[in-house]
Structure 1
Amino acid sequence: MEKGFHEIYEKYSTDLYSFIIKLCGNEQLAKDIMQDTMLRAFTHFDQYNGKCNIKTWLCTIAKNVYFDHLRKSESRNTSLDTAENAAVDSFEQSLTDSDTAIRIHHLLHELDEPYRKVLLLRIFAELKFSDIGSVFGKSENWAGVTYYRGKQKLIELMKKEGLL
């Protein structure tokens, strides 16, 4: 099993890391999520049923690890003072306004679910609509419609920000 998993790691690690870095936008966090993802995949490899391709399965695990991290992070941050959070957010926003690509990335993260996740999986992980549907337990058609609607919402946000 180790040899087979090593081959999977070699084949998909670059794409998976690229997906994770685009998902979270933080290199150190992406490394942590990558490590946790591969550990989960290795320990649960016997549960892979082959209904989707390995890349889709790994991206699903990575997405779940990332959202687990966000939930844990949010619960730790609830004790911070709201004014302090606003000051930090304002400072961080002023640092990123100069770069349009980063601004668009932030707008993408402002989208409601499932639009954000579907756009990330389609654009950055380059998954097919059928694979995206599998990740969510939905149909290929649902994934395509959700992608289209999410893209329209992102375009609206970009227009409001003067990026289009």
Structure 2
Amino acid sequence: MEQAEERKLISRAKKGNDEAFTALFQKNYMFLYKYLIKLSLDPSLTEDLTQETMLKAYVHLPNFKGDSKFSTWLISIASRVYIDHQRKEKRERKRFEKARDDATRKVKWDISMGGHEWTEYMSQFAELDPDIRAPILLRHYYGFTYPEIATMLNIKEGTVKTRVHNGIKQIRKEWS
């Protein structure tokens, strides 16, 4: 798109012309999408980030001064949206890890108060992802077969075998 045409569309969009903004959106969508897919490496996240970027651009269009190309302005918004998303993910991950650690501490306490011993194996087991922990528990503690576990967890038998194998391997790796 020529800069003169882009400036006209921006001017019309700033005055509230939604068709002009739609044209700007369509002209810059693939450029923005390609940038965000390279940044996030996740197509579904990229769709969300692209939409959020364009929404922010729409809301803050009156603040666009025209000192740079419109696409440059969009990239700066997209970069901030991506960084904000990463920070939010990090906060949520920390919150989840704290909740998991608190729950593990409570279980340890309850077990020790019940006269049982909390072993290092149990600590390693507690560190596993719940998707891996459940099949191992059902297989090695309760003795269910792989097909039974697959039915109970509504996953494929091969997935059960993989999760059990990878979980045991992870525990062994921690011990060596």
**How high is the TM-score relative to the length of structure 2?**
0.46
Rg larger in structure: 2
